[in-house]
Amino acid sequence: MRPSTVTGAVLVATVLLLVAVRDGHCAQLCMDSTAFPRTINGSLSFCGYNGTSCCNATDDAAVQKQFAAMNISGTPCGDIVKNVLCARCNPYAGDLFTVTTSPRTVPLLCNTTGVSSRLSTKPAATMDYCTQVWDTCKDVSIPGSPFQAPKGGAAAPKLTDVWQSVSDFCGALGGSGKSPCLDGEGAAFNATRPALPLNGMCLERIGNGSYLNMAAHPDGSNRVFLSNQAGKVFLATVPAQGSGKKLQLDVANPFLDITDEVHYDNEFGLMGLAFHPDFATNGRFFVSYDCDKTQSASCAGRCACNSDVGCDPAKLIADNGAQPCQYQSVIAEYTANATSGTPATATSANPTEVRRIMTLGLPFTTHHGGQILFGPADGYMYFAMGDGGSVGDPWNFAQNKKSLLGKIVRIDVNTMPSGNTTAGWGNYGVPKDNPSAADPSFAPEVFALGFKNPWRCSFDSGKPSYMYCADVGQAVYEEVDLVMKGGNYGWRVFEGTQPYTPLSSPGGNTSAASIDAISPIMGYAHSSVNSNVGSASITGGYVYRSTVDPCLNGRYLYADLYAKSMWAGTESPEDSGVYDVAALTFSCSKSSPIPCDVAAGSALPSLGYIFSFGEDNARDVYLLTSKGVYRVVDPAECSYACPIKSSAPGASSPAPGASPSSAVAARAPALATLLAGVLLSLPMSLMSV
């Protein structure tokens, strides 16, 4: 359950969403966790789906044959069973059949018994579909019944042969509290609480330095790590909200300094920073950086342009006179300088590299991505890599499944192979459930593909299965993608939702019909932003989960690198993959520890370039800009109204070594109670989706 969910108050509303992937901007998945809904010609003759479905004509015929053998056609129960069987063709079949748990023979049936009908916008029979199924079919003999008994028990012709009551039946097959579920019409979604009004985001400036990465200290304290592009990592202490204090760090004594190894120029530098989930006990951490093999003896590795991916380095003309793979993208492991086995207390790191995890030769001098982060649910390392550069990805690396360019890569840094890995890129293990397990044409490290230059990905701390990645566009559109295993996000077949035609294609082309491209869930056209350099470049952020600004809670924040523009996206209905996006006004706190610069003739703070976002252990969100470090604070500090009071005043700061959840708990007043009070006071017209 998300932190924003109201304890003890259930708001249920459902909306039928049967939307095409490229048109609906949805995250849809079929029962096979590596398959996506496909476009079909016409409609399925039996199940009736048209436009997009998880079934083709052959699948549809198989469902029809299964139903015919039951000999219940034309009866009320027959109509229901047909709806249940055809759910496997629904574009949301993966969620309806809960592919992340044990397989089901029927989808989750909407079950809202006990929920106040005044909160529903649908008839009670539709909302409580599970009870409708029971009442209609409980005494009907259904040969080959799909209603498998729980825990793998044998099916029986009649529901009453297996279950004693509607409570038993819906307790086993109902989808109460889960989303989506199957109702009498199709996929239904639980709605989130009505969105609170968003009048603006208030910022305070707490530091002057320019950084690309922020990582919360894994010990759960009020400390963070910051890294700059040149190659230095700093350990900093974050002041309490409302304290009026600045960020505390010693610029003269960095936690780690690898500037001698890092090639720093334009899109090169120290690009990623990630701490092992068990850093507090093992001291392991990782950096991602670029190096120049003509300047560093340790800068060596395979070229990403090679015969394995159909690319000939001899024919490759690199940008700016650089030879192919003169520059390398590196992931390296380091360790903290610790005493008495307590890495959490270390204030510096051993400058000697422990292990080279990966080295990837870069064909061009741009589009290297470079962020690394650990998945909160699986503990694996994710590496966001761009298409390698040049205009329009001429070698089509992003769509080449054997290439690591234009991909989200997932590797296991806890399992080190003996000798070289299969791919020969470094020292790591490959998770067994990577897409290569189902599709041998994938490079084993690839998790998702079709990216141009992913610039800042994050996992939602309130819903760890949601991975957001912002992908920089070419000339038309900037996008945010909801990344799932095996997903293809379209570049260079598409730029955003628009077909893209490359200027040159020595690496060949990929047709739109040959891929199940997933649309962005959010984004903006270049023509819609007022950039100070005549261009646009997206910077991905975080889903805001702090209690400091309740009106931002649950919204994904992102910005443009160049423009004075930020946005907030809200998933609505919850778990649907559909987002409402609003432009985000922002201002500077009246009590900012460091005064904000103000652009001439404007009341807005001048942030310079918005390089990145950060999140600390209290879930507070930061902007890392060319003019300093900014933190989101109480909206009242900027005279922005929010019906729920911020928890910022008087918040305490956990000490080093505290549990990871203590930073959140330290400032957690009865937010759920406050939310409930506000929601009960809202007009009923706002309760519906």
SS (H, E, C) 320-383: HHCCCCCEEEEEEEEEECCCCCCHHHCCCECCCCCEEEEEEEECCCCCCCCEEEECCCCCCEEE
Mean pLDDT of 44-52: 87
For 238-274, the pLDDT digits (tens) are: 999 999 999 999 999 999 999 999 999 999 999 999 9
pLDDT, residue 242, reads 93
Tell me if 431 sits within 8 A of 412, measured CB to CB: yes
pLDDT, residue 321, reads 54
Mean pLDDT of 205-215: 97
Which residues make Cβ contacts (< 8 Å) with residue 560, sequence separation at least 6? 478, 524, 529, 531, 536, 537, 538, 539, 566, 610
Fold of 201-638: Neuraminidase (2.120.10)
pLDDT, residue 513, reads 92
Residue 281: CB atoms within 10 A of its CB come to: 15
What residue type is assigned to position 407 of the chain? Answer: K
Please state the φ and ψ torsions of residue 281, each to the nearest 5 degrees: -115, -25
Cβ-in-10-Å burial (0-12, 13-18, 19+) of 521 comes to: buried
For 600-627, the pLDDT digits (tens) are: 767 788 999 999 999 999 999 999 999 9
Structural tokens at position 260: 């001698």
pLDDT, residue 24, reads 34
How many angstroms separate the Cα of 230 from the Cα of each of 133, 196, 270? 63, 41, 6
Name the most confidently modeled range: 23-27, 311-315, 680-684: 311-315
Which H helix or E strand runs over 524?
strand 522-525
Inform me whether the pLDDT recorded for 62 exceeds 90: yes
pLDDT, residue 312, reads 84
Which residues make Cβ contacts (< 8 Å) with residue 151, sequence separation at least 6? none
Which residues make Cβ contacts (< 8 Å) with residue 167, sequence separation at least 6? none
Which one is predicted more confidently, 493 or 437? 493
Please tell me the distance from the alpha carbon of residue 664 to that of residue 484, in angstroms, as a whole number.
28
For the chain, the domains span 21-188, 201-638
Inform me whether the pLDDT recorded for 419 exceeds 60: no
Tell me if 120 sits within 8 A of 112, measured CB to CB: yes
pLDDT, residue 7, reads 29
For 70-113, the pLDDT digits (tens) are: 999 999 999 999 999 999 999 888 888 875 556 678 998 988 65
For 454-486, the pLDDT digits (tens) are: 999 999 999 998 999 999 999 999 999 999 999
Please tell me the distance from the alpha carbon of residue 271 to that of residue 261, in angstroms, as a whole number.
13
For 560-606, the pLDDT digits (tens) are: 999 889 999 999 888 788 899 999 999 999 999 999 998 776 778 89
